[in-house]
Chains A and B, each alone.
Chain A
Amino acid sequence: MQFDWPFFWHSLFTPSGPFLDGLVLTIVISVVAMALALILGFVIALMRRSRYRGLRWFASIYIWVIRGTPLLVQLVLIYTGLAAAGLYQFQDVSFLGLSVKAAVQAAIVALMINESAYISEIVRAGLDSIPRGQFEAAASLGMRPSKVMRWIVGPQALRVMVPPLGNSFNGLMKTTSVLSVIGVSELFLVTQSISSATFHTFEIFIVAAIYYLALTTVWTFIQADIENRLSRMLGIEQRVRITQRLLGARRGTPATLQPHG
């Protein structure tokens, strides 16, 4: 086996400018797409619970279609397909002094739409986990539905929602690698171009893997911190041990908020 150690160490510890740019773009796209997907997913989840049948149908069909088709197909449809059909062509734009490439916009839109369908299901499960008595008690105190959500149901549902949402984000960061097909120069694409320029395919992709692992590991710590903060806020003393989280140990007995009847 030939393994160019000097090249490997060099690429790992002093990565090239394009490689770092790709890393940053991966992070930026992930965070922005996730933030937008959270909003859209929440809206879709609320639509599913709407009084109006039309909205419920729309939301159900949306979730069905988005979850039932590959992201790659959605991505190409949104970026290349829409343009080919003459419906919409993404253009490079300047945003707060930063130029955002057309492909990057399409990537964010596609990831947002794809992720929102999954997130809406997480939100739905979170809301469903709250006993009816909580809604009723809040309503009987004269709270409007928006206040019930903000003060009573939301904070409790969040506890159920954060772990799966964290998983989603973890997955999303890795999924950004498919964006290479529409030419977004994120971590995967820059790795590939370094590979074809240097022929050090094995070395450079191991470096890429290490960087992806670093990203998701950092996220694991952040997520554990969010969960612990949330538990404190909700008055539950149960710390998420980081080893448990990293190595995927069995969850301990879930801390119940309170037996509801």
Chain B
Amino acid sequence: MTGQELTVSITTEVEAPIVQVQGVSRTLGDRLVLDDVSLDVMRGEVVVIIGPSGAGKTTLLRSLNNLEQVDSGEILIGGVPIGHRDTVTRKPVGTSELARRRREIGFVFQHFNLFPHMTAAENVWNAPVRVLGLPKGKARQDALALLERVGLADKGESRPSQLSGGQQQRVAIARALAMRPKVMLFDEPTSALDVEMVGEVLEVMRELARDQMTMVVVSHEMRFAREVADRIVVMDAGRIIEDAPPDQLFTNPRQERTKAFLSTIH
């Protein structure tokens, strides 16, 4: 673990990473889904996780806001362990406290998971009102502004069922942003979309990156990764096998398995 100590000692001088994954493992049945994974993400950084299916990308991402629990290791968001009351006793965090910690983390799902019984605008302002206690009027205004930002200013009154997949996913992004998260997590945000709708969602994400949002993205969109990512993390069989800036990774991958994976994509 000398590499780990080195990173920590360097970064503490500047600023602590906003996401810290420290030696995290997770077994499902007899399969090691996450195998001693460590990863730091700095504020404003965009990290794209790629790798073959079953590599543990989604499990890692879902662990970051405790939608999945890890068996060992620790995940800290803004220095606070997401799943444990503290790092010493490692008692599981209570439901209310977990809910509070999750406010800081936006999550965008592969299948959008919009609330079908609400309009697009309500999807966006619902949590700020119910969770943060914002006045409805203010939250509605913010929601409309956010919908405008994702290019859906005129869709506030539409139901999710009346929107296309791409539009639904953009509402989902606006919904996550409404909680003013410190980190945004994206779980294959475009893989459930028809090809012609992928671009509009990636464009919104690109803009978020430009606005210095900290993002961790599980994606198969290599062009997006190449353009937007500060770092690309390659996972295989539950491990991080490579972690490098896109230029370096695409032109000169160090690992054979990375090469093999990249060749399957294009």
Contact = CB atoms under 8 A, between A and B. Distances in A.
Interface string A133-158: 11011111111110100011001100
Contacts of B109: 133, 136-137
Nearest to A136: B67
Interface stretch (A35-43, A92-100, A101-109, A253-261): A253-261
B117 A133 contact: no
A66 to B, nearest CB: 29
Contact of A141 (B111, B127, B159, B160): B127
A140 B105 contact: yes
Assign chain B's interface to a size class. Answer: 20 to 34
Contacts of B116: 156, 234, 257-258, 260
Interface stretch (B94-102, B137-145, B207-215): B94-102
A1 to B, nearest CB: 56
B119 A235 contact: yes
B102 A141 contact: yes
A258 to B, nearest CB: 4
Given A133-B109, A142-B127, A145-B95, A257 B117 contact: yes
Contacts, number: 83
Contacts of B112: 261
Contacts of A134: 113, 115
B117 A139 contact: no
Contacts of B77: none
Contact of B117 (A136, A143, A156): A156
A117 to B, nearest CB: 27
B107 A143 contact: no
Interface in B141-178: 159-161, 172, 175-176
A232 to B, nearest CB: 11
Contact of B114 (A139, A145, A258): A258
B192 interface: yes
A144 B160 contact: no
B110 interface: yes
Contacts of A233: 117
Given A152-B115, A156-B116, A144 B102 contact: no
Contacts of A141: 102-103, 126-127, 131, 175-176, 179
Interface string B117-134: 111000000110011000
B65 interface: yes
Interface residues of A, number: 25
B127 A143 contact: yes
A32 B130 CA distance: 32
B179 A142 contact: yes
A261 B127 contact: no
B102 A261 contact: no
Contacts of A142: 99-100, 102-103, 127, 131, 179
Contacts of B175: 141
A137 B160 CA distance: 14
B127 A136 contact: no
Interface in B61-106: 65, 67, 95-96, 99-100, 102-103, 105-106
Nearest to A144: B99
B54 to A, nearest CB: 19
Nearest to B128: A141
B159 A235 contact: yes
Nearest to B66: A139
Interface of B: 65, 67, 95-96, 99-100, 102-103, 105-107, 109-119, 126-127, 130-131, 159-161, 172, 175-176, 179, 192
Chain A to chain B: the 9 pairs with minimum beta-carbon distance, closest first = A261-B111, A142-B103, A137-B113, A258-B116, A140-B107, A133-B113, A141-B127, A257-B116, A234-B117
23 contacts: A134-B115, A136-B67, A136-B109, A136-B113, A139-B67, A140-B67, A141-B131, A141-B175, A142-B99, A142-B102, A142-B179, A143-B127, A143-B130, A143-B131, A151-B126, A155-B117, A156-B117, A234-B117, A235-B119, A235-B159, A258-B114, A258-B159, A261-B112
Given A133-B111, A139-B67, A156-B115, 9 more contacts: A136-B107, A139-B99, A143-B131, A144-B96, A151-B126, A151-B130, A258-B159, A260-B116, A261-B113
